[in-house]
Amino acid sequence: MWLINSSVGRKVIMSVSGAALILFLLFHMSMNLVALFSGDAYNMICEFLGANWYALVATAGLAALVVVHFVYAFILTMQNRKARGTQRYDYTKQPKEVEWASQNMFVLGVIVLLGMGLHLYNFWANMQLVEVLHMLGVHVDGVELAADGTHYIKETFSCIVYVILYLVWLVALWFHLTHGFWSAMQTLGWNNQIWFNRWRCIGNVVSSVIILGFAAVVLVYAFCPCAGC
Q: Note the maximum CA span of the chain.
A: 59
Distance CA 56, CA 128 (A): 9
How many distinct structural domains can be found in the chain?
Answer: 1
Residue 176: give the domain boundaries: 2-85+98-223
Which CATH number do you get for residue 50? 1.20.1300.10
Q: Which of 7-21, 73-87, 154-168 has the highest mean pLDDT?
A: 154-168
- pLDDT tens column, 11-51: 888 888 988 999 999 999 999 999 999 999 999 999 999 88
What is the per-residue burial (b if ≥16 Cβ within 10 Å, else e) of 45-75?
ebbebbbeeeebeebeeeeebbebbbebbee
Q: Work out the number of other CB atoms within 10 angstroms of the CB of residue 34.
A: 20
Distance CA 188, CA 185 (A): 5
Distance CA 140, CA 134 (A): 7
pLDDT of residue 28: 96
CA 219 to each of CA 121, 189, 213, 227: distance values in angstroms, whole numbers, following the listed order: 19, 38, 10, 10
pLDDT of residue 42: 96
- Residue 91 within any structural domain of the chain: no
Which residues touch 82 (CB under 8 Å, ≥6 apart)? none
What is the per-residue burial (b if ≥16 Cβ within 10 Å, else e) of 108-121?
bbebbeebeeebee
- Residue 228 within any structural domain of the chain: no
- Residue 93 within any structural domain of the chain: no
- Residue 202 within any structural domain of the chain: yes
- Residue 43 within any structural domain of the chain: yes
Least confident of 106-110, 128-132, 202-206: 106-110
- Residue 229 within any structural domain of the chain: no
